[in-house]
Amino acid sequence: MADYDTIDFFTDPAIVNDTPAYLAHLRARCPVLREPHHGAFMVTGYDAAMEVLGTKSAGFSSAVAVTGPLPPLPFTPDGDIRAALAEHRGEMPWTDHLAAMDPPEHGANRALLTQLLTHSRLKANEDYVRGLVVRLVDGVIARKGCEITRDFAHALSTLVIADLLGVPEEDRAGLIEELGAPPTQMGDAAHKAQSDPLAHLAPRFRAYLEARLAEPRGDMMSDLVHATYRDGSRPGLATVTRLACFLFGAGQDTSARLLAFAFRVLGDNRAVQAKLRADLSRIPDFIEEVLRLENPVKCLSRLALEQTAIAGVAIPAGAILTVNVGGANRDPAHFPEPDRFDFDRPNVRDHISFSRGTHACLGAPLARMEVRVALEQFLARTRDIRICEAEHGPPGARRYAYEPTYLLQGLEALHVEWDPA
């Protein structure tokens, strides 16, 4: 076991298989605790997280939402940092993406996307998702097992967001390759956090958008390139290109991670699987409890604009707070017996895995729908889903490897087996 008092959460890959225990250790000391390596305030309590994301959010910037505390601030904080941040924002990595924007720019750009991710578009997309899931399940079902992240989950989530946006079929495989590994990898983390993998996608998306500017095709990119801000002005091609790239990046891997975790719960908890099979209408509650215990986004960082206090702990202006989603989601003061999987919890939807407040995930309804449709199909077409013991060891001594990033949480691989129905 790693030494939780000295380990570096942001750079040491040894922590990734141990995150819940590490966060519980921090929370037991204090729900808002300054870690020694980067000076970030680690938020691990539920109420403290809600203060940062909700009631006190006006005192924080999202400029560091993706990168966290690794890249140094390009200025020295001295009292209220609003003016310094405005002056230096352009020097900070990732700040031109939606997740790292602040008001009023954030609200205006978010509104562009909310008008596109409509209920009717998602409803229409559900038919495509169902057809796709059937095809993907057809491809693996007779094999009586597969590596779920590679053979099913990644393909599903990538094709779904590509279809929604309108990425041509023949380009989809190439785009996945171009996107490469997620940012915030550990090891050479400080360097990687500064690079923007979405930048590689920009020329392609710009070309798609230009083509739709000349000739709309009824897809989301066509609507995006013709969208206007609330005041009637146009966002410009560079802005909509970044939004399209961000949607593609945000939409493709997080849902895949969630789906893999759902399979792991089914395989590791036979009583839960039996209960779900007995009533498939409970799949939405099951998904919420998977989200609570296995959050695909690990942490959300914020920059204090002014001196403040969270859970009674003094926070200086310019400090970075890292809200640990898994810490809040397993806070025993909010979720009794927090490590137990129980989709009957009365507060099963209280988790913060899609964040809260003004930056709350725009793709949550899509992610929930994808995973629900996939589970409906898989459960209907199998009799029993099991974890492959040859790969992951027997119950009680399983071996699972997590991806070495501090921002995202996902299994490197998950081998499952089943009996076709």
- Nearest CB to ligand HEM, comparing residues 186 and 245: 245
**Secondary structure element (H or E) that encloses residue 383, with its range:** strand 382-387
Residues 52-71 that bind ligand HEM (CB under 6 A): 62, 65
Give the range of 30-38, 225-233, 272-280, 359-367 binding ligand HEM by CB under 6 A.
359-367
Structure tokens at 131: 């057809």
* H or E, element range at 387: strand 382-387
Binding of ligand HEM by 303 (CB under 6 A) = no
Report if residue 363 touches ligand HEM, rule: CB under 6 A: yes
Q: Residue 421 in 3-state DSSP?
A: coil
Indicate left, alpha or beta for 231 from its phi (over 0: left) and psi (-120 to 50: alpha).
alpha
Among 24, 32, 159, 258, binds ligand HEM (CB under 6 A): 258
Q: How many residues bind ligand HEM (CB under 6 A)?
A: 26
Residue closer to ligand HEM, measured from CB, 300 or 416: 300
Task: Map residues 95-114 to x or -, x wherever contact with ligand HEM holds by CB under 6 A.
Answer: ---xx----------x--x-
Quote the least distance from Cβ 324 to ligand HEM, whole Å.
12
255 binds ligand HEM (CB under 6 A): yes
Cis peptide before 104 (omega within 30 of 0): yes
| Residues of span 192-231 touching ligand HEM by CB under 6 A | none
Determine which residue in the list 26, 297, 373, 407 makes contact with ligand HEM, applying CB under 6 A. 297
Rounded CA gap, 326 and 329, in Å?
5
Q: Is 92 in the site for ligand HEM (CB under 6 A)?
A: no
The nearer residue to ligand HEM, 276 or 367, going by C-beta atoms, is: 367
Which helix or strand (DSSP H or E) is residue 220 part of? helix 220-226
Residue nearest to ligand HEM (CB): 363
Site for ligand HEM in 152-181 (CB under 6 A): 161
Residue 94: which residues within 8 A CB-CB, separation 6 or more? 65, 66, 67, 100, 196
Quick check: 262 binds ligand HEM (CB under 6 A)? Answer: no
Give the three-state DSSP class for 108. helix
The torsion of the CA quartet 397, 28, 69, 107, rounded to 10 degrees, works out to 100
In the complex with ligand HEM, the residue whose CB is nearer, 7 or 73, is 73
Q: Nearest distance from residue 65's CB to ligand HEM, in Å?
A: 4
Instruction: In whole angstroms, give the CA distance from residue 299 to residue 87.
Output: 26
For residue 13 the two structure tokens come to: 């890959």
Whether the CB-CB separation of 141 and 151 falls below 8 Å is answered with no
> Please, are residues 172 and 160 in contact by the beta-carbon 8 Å criterion?
no
Binding ligand HEM (rule: CB under 6 A), the pick from 208, 354, 406, 418 is 354
73: which DSSP letter? P
Q: In angstroms, give the least distance from the CB of 281 to ligand HEM.
A: 21
Collapse the DSSP code of 385 into the 3-class scheme (helix H, G, I; strand E, B; otherwise coil) and give the result. strand
- Candidate residues 68, 69, 93, 296; the one interacting with ligand HEM per rule CB under 6 A: 296
Q: Which residues make up the interface to ligand HEM (CB under 6 A)? A: 62, 65, 98-99, 110, 113, 161, 246-247, 250-251, 254-255, 258, 296-297, 300, 353-355, 359, 361-363, 366-367
